[in-house]
Amino acid sequence: MTAPVNVTVTGAAGQIGYALLFRIASGAMLGPEVPVRLRLLEIPQAVKAAEGTAMELDDCAFPLLAGIDIHDDAAAGFAGTNVALLVGARPRGPGMERADLLEANGGIFGPQGRAINDHAADDVRVLVVGNPANTNALIAASNAPDVPKDRFTAMTRLDHNRALSQVAHRADVAVRDVRRLTIWGNHSASQYPDLFHAEVAGRPGAELAADTAWLTDDFIPTVAKRGAAIIDARGASSAASAANAAIDHVHDWVRGTPDGDWTSAGLWSTGQYGVPEGIVSSFPVTSSGGAWQVVEGLELDDLSRARIDASVAELVEERQAVASLGLI
Ligand SMILES: NC(=O)C1=CN([C@@H]2O[C@H](COP(=O)(O)OP(=O)(O)OC[C@H]3O[C@@H](n4cnc5c(N)ncnc54)[C@H](O)[C@@H]3O)[C@@H](O)[C@H]2O)C=CC1
Ligand SMILES: O=C([O-])CC(=O)C(=O)O
Inter-helix orientation angle 102-119/133-142, to 10°: 40
User: Do both 85 and 227 map to the same domain?
Assistant: no
16 belongs to a structural domain: yes
What is the Å distance from ligand 2's center to 132 Cα?
Answer: 9
User: Do both 191 and 48 map to the same domain?
Assistant: no
Mutate to test the pocket of ligand 1, among 42, 263, 281 (most ligand atoms within 8 A of CB): 42
pLDDT 10s digits, 6-52: 999 999 999 999 999 999 999 999 999 999 999 999 999 999 999 99
User: Do both 235 and 282 map to the same domain?
Assistant: yes
Give nearest CA residue, ligand 1 atom 36.
14
User: Do both 312 and 170 map to the same domain?
Assistant: yes
263 ligand 1 Cβ < 6 A: no
Instruction: Say if residue 1's pLDDT is above 70.
Output: no
43 ligand 1 Cβ < 6 A: yes
User: Do both 149 and 233 map to the same domain?
Assistant: no
With a cut of 0.85, is the ipTM above it?
yes
Among the three residues 154, 189, 207, which one is the final residue of a domain in this structure?
154
0.90 exceeded by pTM: yes
Mean pLDDT (the chain, rounded): 96
Q: Which residues are annotated as a binding site for NAD(+)?
A: 11-17, 105, 112, 129-131
Q: Which residues are annotated as a binding site?
A: 11-17, 92, 98, 105, 112, 129-131, 162
Question: Average pLDDT in the 288-303 region?
Answer: 97
Among the three residues 154, 182, 206, which one is the final residue of a domain in this structure?
154
324 belongs to a structural domain: no
Three-class HEC string of the chain: CCCCEEEEEECCCCHHHHHHHHHHHHCCCCCCCCCEEEEEECCHHHHHHHHHHHHHHHHHCCCCEEEEEEECCHHHHCCCCCEEEECCCCCCCCCCCHHHHHHHHHHHHHHHHHHHHHHCCCCCEEEECCCCHHHHHHHHHHCCCCCCHHHEEECCHHHHHHHHHHHHHHHCCCHHHEECCEEEECCCCCCEEECCCCEECCEEHHHHHCCHHHHHHHHHHHHHCHHHHHHHHHCCCCCHHHHHHHHHHHHHHHHCCCCCCCEEEEEECCCHHHCCCCCEEEEEEEEECCEEEECCCCCCCHHHHHHHHHHHHHHHHHHHHHHHCCCC
Half-sphere exposure of 193 (CA within 13 A, CB side): 30
Among the three residues 137, 154, 171, which one is the final residue of a domain in this structure?
154
C-alpha–C-alpha distance, residues 103 and 108, integer Å: 10
Question: Average pLDDT in the 151-171 region?
Answer: 98
Question: Average pLDDT in the 115-124 region?
Answer: 98
Task: Please list, in sequence order, all residues whose beta carbon lies within 8 angstroms of the beta carbon of residue 20, skipping any fewer than 6 positions away.
Answer: 9, 85, 87, 243, 246, 247
Dihedral sign (CA 256, 115, 242, 59): positive
What is the Å distance from ligand 2's center to 229 Cα?
Answer: 9
What is the Å distance from ligand 2's center to 125 Cα?
Answer: 22
162 belongs to a structural domain: yes
Range of the domain at 60: 5-154
pLDDT 10s digits, 228-281: 999 999 999 999 999 999 999 999 999 999 999 999 999 999 999 999 999 999
Give nearest CA residue, ligand 2 atom 2.
227
The domain total for the chain is 2
What is the Å distance from ligand 1's center to 239 Cα?
Answer: 9
327 belongs to a structural domain: no
